[in-house]
Structure 1
Amino acid sequence: MTGTTATDAGTTAGTTLPPEAAAANAAAGAAGGGLDPYALIHGAFRWQVPERLSIAELCCGRWARETPEAPAILFDSDSDCRAQYSFGQLQRAANRLSNALKRLGVQAGDRVALVLPQRFETAAAHIALNQLGAVAMPLSMLFGPDALEYRLKDSEASVAIVEAGALEAVRGVRGQCPALRHVLVVGAAAPGEGESGWMAALQAEDARFTARDNAADDPAVLIYTSGTTGAPKGALIPQRALLGNLTGFIASQNWFGFDPNNPTARSEAVFWTPADWAWTGGLMDGLLPSLCFGRPILGYQGRFAPEKALELMARYRVTHTFLFPTALKAMMKACPHPRERHALHLQAIMSAGEAVGDAVFDWVGRELGVTVNEMFGQTEINYVVGNCARLWPARPGSMGRAYPGHRVAVIDDEGRVCPPGQVGEVAVHRRDVHGDLDPIFFLGYWRNEAATAAKFTGDPMDSWCRTGDLARADADGYLWYEGRSDDQFKVAGYRIGPGEIENCLVKHEAVANAAVVPKPDAERGALVKAFVVLAPGRQPSAALTSELQAFVRERLAPYEYPKEIEFLDSLPMTTTGKLQRRVLRQLEADRAAGRST
């Protein structure tokens, strides 16, 4: 929306439909959908990013002043513990936590680890840290000791806020993390040395706090991505990146319920996603955007199960959601006709992580009553491509079109835009179609200037940011995914970096070398497969396979352990000694296709 500032109450940086697009949308409806308003929407949108910007203010502060009793966090768990928290309660808890963290010496720019699930304290921690100007570093509850230790050491996190279920894992690596001086424990666990309990810490503090005046370019979140080789990289996300996410968020949620000029929809909208709030998908695609628009989000602390997901959506009258394709597939198989058993109120479903596919796409439309809006993005540049069924037609199997405010193209190795139909690398330009800087971009990789520079092609402030994903564009600007240009792959919605798993395997005394690749799988899209070269004197066996799987599962995340291990005498290498994973990937692809190898 032209002329809207990022801090206007109820609106954020052009997140309402532009007048030109609204007219086009009305015309499209009158014409029976014959008119595509996409070009008008994309062309009319202009970024309006102020110099001073605070995620805490956008997501909580303004709502705590204007609608303090409005629900912010709805909570449910597999133990049937349920609660509801208002924006006023969220702000007071965040203020107390800001004071407690300040007392512990946390300052602007300090990294604070959050090893927390979907719960009220997680949201309060993000608001509190942002008010201090500190950097939140969300970590999955599923991380094992190796994964935790690397991230805590590399980031030099000074404090960790840890749910009781992950406390022993953090305690086990704390001795190797010299910068970690204090642990704040959430839940029923007795604090040890250098630790304190959440409730006691907050009860000792004032519920008032004067928030720091953050700049739009100040860092807000540090999220580690998995590297294709070697160690994971920490992507440093600025305050302004939330604004960059919002056009994609409201488009993928069909604008319903997220239009500030529609108070009826606002009172009805409820968001939920099973995506972990420790990942970009849960945090930047769910928690923060929902709060930014003053809408409640459901936090569920428990394992995903198809029937439970449908039960939750019915109980809390969930209107908007983000569901991975694997979750939708599981729901389709477990409950083919969900509306026969559950009173659902869905208005929009966004899906990302892999292709939804025709079968799931059709099932969702037929059985859930909405069209899936597929989306594409990365931690570094999130929510840049996708669909909006309300405003432009989804094409099953397509990644969609560039969301308003983002200039996206398929480019070749020299950085030239490819013609329609030619496969190249998906890239996002620093500047939009009007020449304005796009706020979506990350600040860089934590202490890794070389990796940051390699991500861009051209002048740093007038360049393409390469995603590493291959695609082709059609004549209408829809993108069609063609795979990764590197060795990362996705399993059940999680991005897998083979280097971390390979490094873990090699730590086992029986392993001399290892390579990890995706194995095609009809259910999940891919499984983690490891090719292992054994150390001298060791022999392959079923027992050793189980031992290696357990070894990885205990040290990394459960979704990272290899579901299948194949023992080889040697791995394919280049003449310079580099591992050729593509040879093994092709081997698995040939096997899956029934081709002789």
Structure 2
Amino acid sequence: MESYEAARQEFRWDVPESFNFGGDVIDHWARERPDHLALIWCDDQGNERRLTYADIARLSNRVANALSARGVKRGDRVIVMLPRIPEWQIAMVGCLKLGAVPIPCIEMLTERDIAYRLANSEATGAITTRANIGKFASGEALLARLSVGGGEAAWEDYDAALADASDSFTPARLAADEPAIMYYTSGSTGHPKGVLHGSRGIFAWRVSAWYWLTLTPDDVMWCTADTGWSKAGTSIIFGPWSCGSTVVFYNGRYDPKLRLETLARYRVTVFCAAATELRRLVQEDVAGYDLSALRMTVSAGESVNPEIVRAWKRLTGVDLLDGYGQTETLMTVLNYPPLAVKPGSMGKPLPGTDAAVIDEEGRFAPVDKPGRLVIRLPNPQIMLGYWKEPERTAQSRITVEGHEWFLTGDLARIDEDGYLFYEGRSDDVINSAGYRIGPMEVENVLMEHEYVAECAVVASPHEERGEVVKAYIVLKRGQAGSDDLVKALQDHCKALTGPYKYPRRIEFVADLPKTASGKIRRRELRDREFAAQKGVS
């Protein structure tokens, strides 16, 4: 793309009537460039595996056959909870070839989290590691249970299951609006929502790889996102592999020096990392690392501070292009190589995507006036809907001046040059180091503690993580707050829900602000928290 404006004017969506990523992308490259590296896996112990597109095609065929042999059918849901290992990509592609709907999940989910997802999705299959088998105690009805690292009880060894499966498989032809993948994402109330995407979404997500990442088969891309995030799908599988690129996949502890060593060793050309990581990396001395292959760095999931954008450029000589997307929409507002960067801006809408800001009256907001960010429909990138929640799906749509738009739930403003700036959430979701955390999930766990009478969970600003979980807690009569109780409550949360959700800050209060109808005013607490952190009384 030499000109952003020209690309927008010339772009037209060309979504096929049917599409299967496994067959139309992976099998395509396996035929055209069978020996081209699709994946370089490594870990913090120095181990490495390399797989070609032919390898991915063959092994994903075996996954599809193994699942089919155990009764998993087209349209069935399959939970894929694996760490950053090649089996994750292979399992994902195998599900897609079969026409089963993979549900990627992060490893930090607890037994309770998994039980909800199993029941809500009515999954018929699961692929995980031996270490995580115990979290699937409620999965008695699963037809297929494959365990990487060895079987146990009702679970079969993944490698053994694949060894008995055929290398040949004919991918299902999925209609454009047929369900293809589902992610669970946190909301401000209740349980996580299942965000269902069609095959058209997986096809459309390549567009951000064209214009934002500008990938080609000569590129080596490394995205550090967790396997349960939708960002991992677009920047580790769907985006780079649609372009025939090579993907680096690192599994291990976070260490800034290891990050830099990996970038240098594998001659990474495009690097994608969360703002939290980049804030640490800019503090490193890169003089001893050969980063000459690196041509671009991108970030998404949380806003990148303008000073980090400038610091990264000074440190590496490479642009840091921030981008905006959601689980419901994936990447929609981005900075692009030919476009001048305004530090702090999300950029401009992707070619083929129209974004706008509307006020509370449902009218388009004037320049620099914050309002609700909306994406014009129809757009193939946007979800089919929330799983089993037609009313919530309908509520995510709004009509403005005769056209239907998708309500992102975020606040933004547009400047006079058409650049969008993120202004925060219009609901109470906490965005901590890229993880979206619903306050109700944490509140429900805290309320199970014997000393807690009432609580409210909000976002609290944090220099490195962007936001962290803060809990305001009213204790039961006769109980007093203490440092020991803070630790006990944190440990309680870590034991019952994903450890990334635990409240890093806890404040004991006598009461909580409420509306006339008795609802807790989280927004008031959140505003108070942000004001306090800025030193405002």
Q: Which of the five TM-score ranges fits, normalised by the shorter chain? A: over 0.9
Match in the other structure for 2:383:
442
Deviation of 1:178 (Å): 4.8
- Note if contact 1:502-1:516 (Cα within 8 Å) is conserved in structure 2: yes
Residue 159, structure 1, aligned to residue 119, structure 2: no
Q: In the alignment, which of 91, 97, 111 is matched to residue 125 of structure 1?
A: 91
**1:229 equivalenced with 2:189 (yes/no):** yes
Return the offset for 1:280.
Answer: 0.8
From 291, 296, 301, give the equivalent of 2:241: 291
Could you tell me how far apart the structure 1 residues matched to 2:61 and 2:236 are?
A: 23
Aligned counterpart, 1:209: 169
Which segments of 5 or more consecutive residues in structure 1 lack a partner in the other structure? 1-16, 18-24, 26-36, 259-265, 432-437
1:194 aligns with 2:140: no
Equivalent in 134, 146, 149 of residue 168 of structure 1 = 134
**Corresponding residue number in structure 1 for 2:49:** 83
Task: Note if contact 1:313-1:344 (Cα within 8 Å) is conserved in structure 2.
Answer: no
Query: In 2, Cα distance between the equivalents of 1:483 and 1:345?
Result: 35
Give the secondary-structure state (helix, strand or coil) at the position aligned to 1:214. coil
Change (3 A) 1:179 1:534: farther
Change (3 A) 1:59 1:501: farther
Equivalent residue number for residue 367 of structure 1: 315
**What per-residue deviation string (whole Å, max 9, x for no partner) do you get for residues 335-358 of structure 1?**
1x3143344411111112222222
Give the 5 Å matches for 1:458-537. Answer: 458=399, 462-537=403-478
* Separation in 2, partners of 1:581, 1:293: 44
Q: Which residue of 1 aligns with 2:288?
A: 340
Instruction: Give me the whole-angstrom Cα distance separating, in 1, the residues matched to 2:326 and 2:142.
Output: 29
Aligned amino acid, residue 320 of structure 2:
V
In the alignment, which residue of structure 2 is the partner of 1:21? none
Give how far 1:186 is off.
Answer: 0.5
Structure 2 unaligned residues grouped into runs of 5+ = none
Identity of aligned residues (%): 37
Distance 1:539 1:179, change over 3 A: farther
Tell me the CA shift for residue 378 of structure 1: 0.5
Say how many residue pairs are matched: 536
Q: What residue in structure 2 maps to residue 30 of structure 1?
A: none
Residue identity in the other structure for 2:313:
G
- 1:180 CA displacement: 2.8
Cα drift, residue 541 of structure 1: 2.3
C-alpha distance in structure 2 between counterparts of 1:309 and 1:185, whole Å? 29
Distance, in Å, in 2 between the alignment partners of 1:277 and 1:326 is 17
> What is the distance in 2 between the residues matched to 1:169 and 1:420?
50
Residue number among 577, 581, 584 corresponding to 2:522 in the alignment: 581
- Asked whether the 8 Å contact 2:20–2:171 carries over to 1, the reply is no
The answer as to whether partners of 2:83 and 2:106 remain within 8 angstroms in 1 is yes
Moved over 4 A (4+): none
SS at match of 1:377: strand
Alignment map for 1:44-59 (pairs within 5 Å): 44-59=10-25
2:76 counterpart of 1:116: no
8 Å CA contact retained: 1:528, 1:562: yes
Give the 3-state SS of the residue equivalent to 2:331 in structure 1: coil
Q: Does 1:102 align with 2:49?
A: no
Q: Distance between the aligned counterparts of 1:585 and 1:355, measured in 2?
A: 18
TM-score, scaled relative to structure 2 = 0.96
**1:22-47 CA-partner distances (Å, limit 9, x unpaired):** xxx3xxxxxxxxxxx32221111011
Aligned residue number for residue 334 of structure 2: 386
For 1:143 and 1:87, the matched residues in 2 are separated by 31
Query: Separation in 2 of the partners of 1:38 and 1:498?
Result: 39
| Paired residues for 1:245-256 under 5 Å | 245-253=205-213, 255=214
Residue 395 of structure 1, CA deviation: 0.5
Which moved further from structure 2: 553-562 or 305-314? 553-562
Q: Distance in 1 between matches of 2:502 and 2:25?
A: 36
Give the aligned CA root-mean-square deviation in angstroms: 1.7
- In the TM superposition, residue 153 of structure 1 has moved relative to its aligned partner by 1.7
Equivalent residue letter for 2:89: A
CA distance in 2, matches of 1:108, 1:416: 43
- Using the TM superposition, name which of 537-546 and 58-67 deviates more: 537-546
Superposition deviation, residue 462 in structure 1: 4.8
The equivalent of 2:373 in structure 1 is 426
Q: Matches of 2:238 and 2:89 in 1, distance apart? A: 8
Give how far 1:98 is off: 0.9
Please point out which of 212, 215, 225 is paired with 1:275.
225
Match of 1:413 among 354, 360, 364: 360
1:547: which partner in 2? 488
> Does the CA contact (< 8 Å) of 2:481 and 2:508 recur in 1?
yes
TM-score under structure 1 length normalisation: 0.87
Q: Which residue of 2 aligns with 1:220?
A: 180
Inter-partner Cα distance in structure 2 for 1:343 and 1:376: 26
Residue 327 of structure 1 corresponds to: 277
Report if aligned partners of 1:144, 1:556 keep a CA contact under 8 Å in 2: yes
Counterpart CA distance in 2 for 1:234 and 1:538 is: 38
